[in-house]
Amino acid sequence: MFRKRKNPTPAYRTAVPYGPVKGEHHELRASKPYCRFLLDEALTDTTEKAVATITHQWGPGIAHSFDDKIVVYNLETESPGTYLGDMEAGEAGMALWDTSRKWILIVTGPGSSDDFKRVCRFTLDVELTNSDESVAATITDQYGPGELHTETSITVHNLLRQDGSYEFYADPGDAGIGAWDQGTDWIIHIMECP
């Protein structure tokens, strides 16, 4: 009897994890979650997505390629077919790398260094239910161009759904990502998985 010949694979002879549902290989390390971009085409309040170019990246993880074009997805409002973002070609904004592997528009405008940082990671001080419009939270990290917010005790606002309830619910201590509105008010864009 002969032993079967070994066929070593790359990456220390371990197969790359494969997702049968999505039909693609899994990333072994997370990518940077935030970027500043310049739009290659207009993104209007009736446009779902637009092509853009990454100019800066922030956060932990592996950097995305600066050479590749990205697609930025607009945030839909309560009215189907209408969106929050309304930007001209060449304008800058910030986007979040979502768990669905899409860049989601979170901040429009250039975000100059004279302004405050517009994206933060926070932890909830109290429970958040899908009937809460806002709750108290604490900033743990800040991203993007601009000055650091010195006041880390903030109020985070939940996203209203069409049925009158709110999008997010979480336990005290759970973390999320928010975009700065004004003062100590932040808008929740995503809650991290516990």
**In the chain, where the domains are located:** 34-108, 119-191
In the chain, the percentage of residues whose pLDDT exceeds 70 is 77
**Which amino acid, one-letter code, is at 42?**
A
pLDDT at 137: 96
Q: Using a cut of 0.75, tell me whether the model's pTM lies above it.
A: no
Tell me the C-alpha distance between 189 and 158, whole Å.
Answer: 8
Chosen CATH of 119-191 out of 1.10.287, 2.40.50, 2.60.40, 1.10.3470: 2.40.50
87-96, 100-109, 139-148, 161-170: range with lowest mean pLDDT: 100-109
Say whether pLDDT at 185 is over 80. yes
Q: Which residue has the higher pLDDT, 153 or 66?
A: 153
pLDDT tens by residue, 135-156: 999 999 887 777 888 999 999 9
Q: How far apart are the first and last CA of the chain?
A: 51
pLDDT at 47: 86
